[in-house]
Amino acid sequence: MSRAYGRAVTESDAAVGRLLAAADTAFGEGNYTIIVTADHGGHERDHGGNDPRDVTIPWIVWGRGVKVSELPGGMIRTMDTASTVLWLLGLNEPTDWLGSPITSAFITAAGDN
């Protein structure tokens, strides 16, 4: 990973900080949900193979209604992110979508935690 990559990570981190500050101002602290993810992983100077480091991505969800825990086993696919966002907004996803909302990351019923 190059110096340019390191700068990009630093700039992305600062951008997320600005986004969270703006959301705190607009909606009140913690009154929103945010998902932070990536489109692919990588190792050394490569990211195009079947190596688990290339295909494993972070999927971090934080905020209102989020369970404070690790998700139980299973994989989250990149396409599940859009489905989860629509579910959070109370919208139906198109029937031809392959993603599924990751509802297990959220408190969905009274008594869930």
Please give the pLDDT value at position 5. Answer: 82
Q: How many residues does the chain have?
A: 113
Residue pair 34/62 in contact by the 8 Å Cβ criterion: yes
Count the helices and strands in the chain (H runs, E runs). 3, 2
Residue pair 101/86 in contact by the 8 Å Cβ criterion: yes
CA torsion through residues 10, 65, 56, 53, sign: positive
Within 10 angstroms of residue 5's Cβ, the number of other Cβ atoms is 11
CA distance 66 to 85: 13
Kindly list the averaged pLDDT for each block of 10 residues, start to end, along the chain of length 113. Answer: 87 95 95 87 68 78 88 78 94 92 81 45
**What's the whole-model pTM score?**
0.76
Where is 62: in which H helix or E strand? strand 59-63
Please give the pLDDT value at position 12. Answer: 92
Residue pair 39/57 in contact by the 8 Å Cβ criterion: yes
Please give the pLDDT value at position 47. Answer: 62
Q: Return all residues near 98 (Cβ < 8 A) that are at least 6 apart.
A: 77, 79
